[in-house]
Amino acid sequence: KRAHVVRAGDEVEVEVPEARPTEIAAEDIPLAVLYEDPHLLAIDKPPGMVVHPSPGHGSGTLVNALLHHVRDLSGIGGELRPGIVHRLDRDTSGVLLIAKTDLAHASLSRQMKKRSMRKEYLALVAGIPRVRKGEISRPVGRDPRDRKKMKAFPRTGETPAGAREATTLYEIEREWPALGLTLLRCRLVTGRTHQIRVHLAAAGLPVVGDPVYGRPRLERARDPSLKKALTDFPRQALHAERIGFRHPASHEPIEIIAPIPEDLSRLLSLINGRKL
């Protein structure tokens, strides 16, 4: 029992689980390379791909693919995350940076910590913002009612332990008022887990297809085929479109852009009324 106090002379039995191998298998999984040099690699991560192995995802991850395609990777992230500088959610698509050397890993991590790395996302949301450009600044932490989810807490009142300051900037890229839909360009000032999804949901602008933070009702989309496409979209309509940073070795500015993936492109085409 948790309240039991162990005393001198007590016998304690401990069951030690069998050690699990940490070796990760290299797998010949195709990768879309956006940029590569001796220091770093930029990948266009497809939706549905997990970044690194975790319970329930021992294979088929980006790391499994990297071990097959890349000879050397930074070891700073540990055995399970070689080369991984930052992450994207499984069902978020877009550009992801990979460090080949420890020097590159340290430089990129430092830029993220100093918030000099620019990360921009495209998000298709339900609702029309009241302003064309805005800022959402609310602490983000674990939801006390469901520890598997994150939550944006109001700035007034007591912030739960573990919640951290988080800021997302956004501007309207395209809007369809008659449909109640907006394509937002979001910029991360901080990088908390699920930050954009949580912030937009808290602002009343939930991301289309988001299964965790509320699938929107989409009442204005009355065309049956469009409503079905929006309702059945199998993932959050969120794409990491571009990232800007200083090269770890040359210190020259670099911007890498990932094209909008086919599934989201088809949905936007349908919204625009063009033939698929």
**Which residues carry out catalysis?**
89
Residue type, 62: L
Return the structure tokens found at 132.
């064309």
Dig out the tokens for 246 from the structure. 């200083």
- For the purposes of burial, counting CB atoms within 10 Å of the CB of 249, is it exposed (0-12), middle (13-18) or buried (19 or more)? middle
Residue bearing tokens 């009241």: 130
Rounded Cα gap, residues 135 and 77, in angstroms: 32
* Other Cβ atoms closer than 10 A to 5: 6
Beta strand 238-246 with 93-99 is parallel
Q: Is 51 exposed, middle or buried (0-12, 13-18, 19+ CB in 10 A)?
A: buried
Answer yes or no: are the C-beta atoms of 227 and 241 closer than 8 Å: no
- Amino acid letter for position 156: T
Separation CA 65–CA 96 (nearest Å): 14
The angle, 0 to 180 degrees and rounded to 10, between the axes of the packed helices 224-231 and 262-272 is 150
Task: Give the residue among 59, 72, 50 at the shortest CA–CA distance from 28.
Answer: 59
